[in-house]
């Protein structure tokens, strides 16, 4: 198996983990404050990250890497959790799933503009078709219009795409584990006091189901899933592995049906089949990769 294929498989595992984020977030924010869920999950994951960095005997990142880590943190540690949690307070996870399906196109766009990846015309056509399918599905479910919470979901997509692209590039020189760990640790001095205040102000009384959902988004969505995802992006390329995300809305739909009890009908499966076909086509399209960044020496 070549590096690109390994990247696709690792990316798929990461997406499978991420696909349950919205359903579990939906359960958590039904009883807990959305901002508390968003920032609290990052704090819990940051504690795990400190232990992981100690276990790896990780060296401090360079100044250039810190800049990239802050961008990563702003996108996937702060932006996506906050906006998606707010949206899940108002709309079903199945609705959020189809809007978040725009992530592959947004991730490829960030990768192309910021890091010099140059997808072929065929790749862009496949990505656009897949995104149009997702948009059509969202409009169909919404009765021909978007909900107000869609704006929060669109903001979540932009934030996640930025963090995915930046973190995927950093993984080429730092490794996926260190990227997400340092991104979490760097955000902790700000998010910890905010989380404590939110907990004291809004309360933390909730059912075991809500706290179990909070635990999933903390340990899996915010921590373990990124190990697979960033490694996949580093091996297979941001634009190509990002295409795997087209499968995420439909895995999320299944998760929403099982976890939250939301309706899954035949139309969901038809749209899923169409998107999978587009991903298969996009997988075969040429992408000119940017040169891999040579590992830099870190200082202690």
Lowest mean pLDDT among 13-27, 91-105, 157-171, 196-210: 91-105
Mean pLDDT across 45-72 = 93
Is the pLDDT at 231 greater than 50? The verdict is yes
Give the tens place of pLDDT for each residue, 140-164: 777 677 777 888 998 999 999 999 8
Q: Would you state the pLDDT for residue 300?
A: 38
The SS3 of residue 53 is helix
Lowest mean pLDDT among 11-15, 120-124, 156-160, 199-203: 120-124
Mean pLDDT across 204-217 = 96
The strand pairing partners of 288, in sequence order, are 118
Dist. CA 214–CA 24, nearest whole Å: 7
Is the pLDDT at 82 greater than 90? The verdict is yes
> What angle is formed at CA 180 by the lines to CA 54 and CA 280, rounded to 5 degrees?
135
Q: Would you state the pLDDT for residue 287?
A: 62
Is the pLDDT at 23 greater than 90? The verdict is yes
Whole-number CA gyration radius for the chain: 18
Residue 216 per-residue DSSP state:
H
Backbone angles phi, psi at 299, to 5 degrees: -100, 150
List the one residue out of 146, 133, 144 whose CA is nearest residue 95. Answer: 146
Q: Report the 10 Å Cβ neighbour count for 148.
A: 9
CA 291 distance to own-chain centroid:
24
- Residue 284 makes CB contacts below 8 A (sequence gap 6+) with none
Residue 296 per-residue DSSP state:
P
Distances from the Cα of 30 to the Cαs of 2, 37, 228, in angstroms?
44, 10, 29
Distances from the Cα of 238 to the Cαs of 161, 163, 166, in angstroms?
10, 11, 9
Token pair for residue 85? 């949690």
Q: Would you state the pLDDT for residue 262?
A: 87
Dist. CA 228–CA 123, nearest whole Å: 23
Number of helical (H) and strand (E) elements in the chain, helices listed first: 15, 2
Contact 288, 118 (CB under 8 A): yes
Overall residue count recorded for the chain in this entry = 300
List the one residue out of 233, 174, 258, 268 whose CA is nearest residue 7. Answer: 233
Percent of the chain with pLDDT over 70: 92
Q: Report the 10 Å Cβ neighbour count for 204.
A: 15
Q: Would you state the pLDDT for residue 187?
A: 96
Q: Would you state the pLDDT for residue 296?
A: 45
Pick the more confident residue, 297 or 51.
Answer: 51
The SS3 of residue 74 is helix
Pick the more confident residue, 169 or 40.
Answer: 40
Mean pLDDT across 242-258 = 84
Q: Would you state the pLDDT for residue 256?
A: 92
């Amino acid at each position: 198996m070549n590096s690109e294929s390994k990247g696709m498989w690792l990316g798929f595992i990461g997406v499978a983990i991420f696909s349950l984020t919205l359903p579990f977030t939906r359960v958590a924010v039904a009883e807990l404050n959305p901002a508390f869920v968003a920032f609290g999950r990052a704090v819990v994951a940051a504690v795990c990250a400190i232990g992981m960095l100690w276990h790896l005997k990780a060296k401090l990142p360079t100044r250039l890497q810190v800049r990239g880590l802050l961008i990563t943190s702003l996108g996937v540690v702060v932006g996506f959790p906050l906006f998606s949690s707010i949206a899940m307070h108002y709309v079903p996870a199945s609705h959020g799933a189809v809007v978040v399906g725009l992530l592959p196109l947004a991730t490829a766009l960030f990768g192309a503009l910021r890091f010099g990846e140059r997808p072929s015309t065929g790749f862009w056509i496949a990505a656009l078709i897949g995104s149009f399918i997702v948009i059509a599905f969202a409009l169909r479910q919404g009765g021909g219009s978007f909900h107000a919470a869609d704006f929060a979901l669109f903001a979540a997509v932009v934030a996640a795409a930025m963090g995915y692209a930046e973190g995927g590039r950093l993984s080429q020189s730092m490794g996926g584990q260190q990227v997400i760990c340092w991104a979490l640790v760097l955000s902790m001095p700000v998010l910890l006091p905010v989380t404590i205040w939110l907990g004291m102000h809004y309360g933390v009384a909730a059912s075991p189901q809500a706290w179990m959902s909070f635990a999933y988004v903390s340990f899996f969505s915010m921590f373990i899933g990124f190990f697979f995802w960033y490694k996949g992006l580093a091996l297979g390329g941001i634009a190509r592995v990002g295409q795997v995300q087209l499968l995420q809305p439909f895995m999320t739909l299944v998760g929403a049906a099982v976890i939250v009890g939301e309706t899954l009908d035949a139309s969901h499966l038809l749209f899923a089949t169409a998107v999978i076909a587009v991903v298969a086509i996009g997988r075969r399209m040429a992408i000119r990769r940017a040169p891999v960044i040579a590992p830099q020496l870190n200082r202690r």
